[in-house]
Copies of this chain bind each other. A is one copy, B any other.
Amino acid sequence: MNNLRVNSERLWDSLMEMGRIGATAGGGVGRLALTDLDRQARDLFVRWCEQAGCVVRVDRMGNIFARRQGSDDTRPPVMTGSHLDTQPLGGKFDGIYGVLAGLEIVRTLNDAGVRTLAPIDVVNWTDEEGVRFGSGTLASAVFSGLCEPDDALTRTDLDGNTFGTELERIGYAGNVAANGHPVAAFIEAHIEQGPILEAKGKTIGVVLGAQGQRCFRVTVDGEEGHAGTLPMEKRRDALVGAARMIDALNRLAFEHKPHPVITVGALQVRPNSRNTIPGRAVFSIDSRHPDNAVLATLAERMSQACDEIAGNADLALKFEQISHRATVAFDDGCISAIRDTASRLGIAHMDIYSGAGHDACNLARYTPTGMIFVPCEKGISHNEKEKALPQDLAAGCDVLLHVMLERAGIS
C-alpha cells in the first residue's frame, strides 16, 4: 500500500480542463463565486465525481460533498477539498488543486481497488475568495458553526444581488442542512501562495497554522469641487488624503520585525471624474501577522496614522474594522501525520505557517484539521501568472492520499 501513487498526468489534465472555464486572456482564470462560470465549474466537478462512483450532496450554502463510501459507513468521513471559485484575475491552482487532488485520490483508490473503512468526502466550499460578497470562507464558516446561514445568505454584491438568490440562480442552493455533519478529520491540499518553499527547495509544507487577520474599511470624506477653479489651498481632496494614508500604511508594515503584511487592495473614488476634486474615497485594509498581539497594536497604529493625515488635511475619517480572525493552530495529530508521511515517502518537507486564510482555518475549530502546501512559482498567486509544477502537485497529492488512508483505515 506504501507504494500506491496518484496519477500525476490525470491530476494535471483535470486541472487544465477545469482552468478552461473562465479562462482569461492573460492565461489565468476569472471565475467569481456564484456566477454562471462557477456553475459550469461545479457541474464539471459533480459529473467527474459521479463518474468516479461518488454520491454527491449539496448543502444550503452550496457546499458540494462527494462521498466515496467506506466499508463501515457508520464512521464519520475523512474529508478533503478546497474551492473552485477564483479571484477576478486569478490562477488555475489556488483552491482548485485542493478539490481536484481529492478527486484524484478517489480515482486512484478506485483504480487500485482499495476500500477504506470510513467514507471519504471530497468537498468544494462555496465562495472561498469573498470577492463578490465582501468576506471569504463564509460557507465553510457556516458548516463549522462559526456563522449563521442567514448572515451569509443575505449578504449582497455591488449590484444588490444576495448570496442566497445567486446560489438559487445557479442551481446550487441544496437541501442538506448547512450546519455540518460529523467529520473525522479535514486535510486540505493547497499551493503555498508564497515564496518560501521554492526558496528553501522543499516540496511539501507541513502547515502548523495560519496567521491572524484584521480587515478594515476606511472612508475619507472631503468636499467635491471644480478642478479648474478651486484654489489648491481651499481644497479638501479626499483622494489626496487617501493617497497619503495608503503610503503611510505601507511604510508602517516595514517598521515591525518580522514584517506584518498590510495591503490596500480596493479603492473607490467618488465621483471619480477627471475634472472634479474627489469628495470621498473608500478603501480596504487587509493586515495579517502570526502574533495576535502585534496585530492588535498594528490596528491602533494604522488608525492613528490615518487620523493624523485626515486631521492635517481637514478631512473626515471613518476607520471601521470589518473582520477579525485570530491566529489558527492546526491539530497536532494531523500535523504529525503529514510530516511523517512526507518523510516516509522521501519527499523534502518543512514546517510552515500559512499567510492566507483558508477554509481549513474554519474547519480547525470544528474537527481535527491539517494542511499540505506545495510550492508555486515565485510565490505568485491571486494572479493570472500563478504556476505550479506537475510533479510538485502530484507529490502533495501522494502525501494527502496516504494521510487520508491512515485516517480512514483500510478494510
Instruction: State whether B379 touches A261 (Cβ < 8 A).
Output: no
Instruction: State whether B232 touches A254 (Cβ < 8 A).
Output: yes
- Which B residues are CB-close (under 8 A) to A87? 271, 273, 275-276
A231 within 8 A of B: yes
A134-B355 Cα distance, complex, nearest whole Å: 41
Instruction: State whether A275 touches B231 (Cβ < 8 A).
Output: no
Identify which of B129, B262, B279, B384 contacts A383 (C-beta below 8 A): B279
A193-B231 Cα distance, complex, nearest whole Å: 11
A354-B230 Cα distance, complex, nearest whole Å: 11
Identify which of B225, B355, B385 contacts A382 (C-beta below 8 A): B225
* Copies of the polypeptide in the assembly: 2
- For this complex, 20 residue pairs linking A to B, each with C-beta atoms less than 8 Å apart, are A87-B271, A194-B229, A195-B230, A195-B231, A211-B228, A213-B228, A225-B383, A227-B261, A227-B382, A228-B355, A228-B357, A229-B379, A230-B380, A240-B246, A242-B243, A243-B250, A265-B272, A266-B269, A266-B273, A275-B382
Instruction: State whether A239 touches B254 (Cβ < 8 A).
Output: no
- Which B residues are CB-close (under 8 A) to A215? 274
Instruction: State whether B263 touches A88 (Cβ < 8 A).
Output: no
Instruction: State whether B265 touches A276 (Cβ < 8 A).
Output: yes
Chain A positions within 8 Å of B, measured between CB atoms, are 87-89, 94, 129-131, 134, 136, 192-195, 211, 213, 215, 223-234, 237, 239-240, 242-244, 246-247, 250, 253-254, 259, 261-267, 269-279, 284, 286, 288, 354-357, 379-385
A211-B226 Cα distance, complex, nearest whole Å: 14
Instruction: State whether A288 touches B247 (Cβ < 8 A).
Output: no
- Which B residues are CB-close (under 8 A) to A382? 224-227, 273, 275-277
- Which B residues are CB-close (under 8 A) to A284? 274
- Which B residues are CB-close (under 8 A) to A276? 87-89, 263, 265, 382-383
A263-B194 Cα distance, complex, nearest whole Å: 37
Identify which of B136, B227, B234 contacts A195 (C-beta below 8 A): B234
Instruction: State whether A267 touches B272 (Cβ < 8 A).
Output: yes
Identify which of B89, B213, B254 contacts A224 (C-beta below 8 A): B89
